[in-house]
Amino acid sequence: TQNNSVEHLHPQKHVNQLAVIEGSDFDDTKKVLDYFGNLCLISQGSNSRYSDFNFEAKKMQFRSGTSVESLKQVLMFEYSEWTSKEIKEHGGKMIALLRENSEIKN
């Protein structure tokens, strides 16, 4: 499978919903939206199917699927909710995991 499409688990179209949950600073919210913790690589077809659905709808679609395209996405869907807090937490865990398994230690 060619996984070359960047999926924003919290959809870009609903950036204001993230702002309502976490605060009203649009610049900070945009940074959280584009943060590594909110992103994964999947196929273009899957990305189109997820469209601009919210976290819960995407999670339901994912669970009803028959294959896994992204291990990172599997870990993302283990969260019960997906706010700025979870996005930052997941991103930090993934960066630590990558550093742990590479020669980069900073």
Asked which of 11-25, 57-71, 89-103 is least confident by mean pLDDT, the reply is 11-25
Helices (H) and strands (E) in the chain, counts: 6, 2
Residue 13 CA, chain-centre distance (Å), reads 14
The pTM of the full predicted model, rounded to 2 decimals, is 0.82
pLDDT higher than threshold 90 for residue 81: yes
SS3 9: coil
What are 23-77's pLDDT values in tens digits?
544 456 677 888 899 999 999 999 999 988 999 999 999 999 888 999 999 999 9
Asked if residue 79 has pLDDT above 80, the reply is: yes
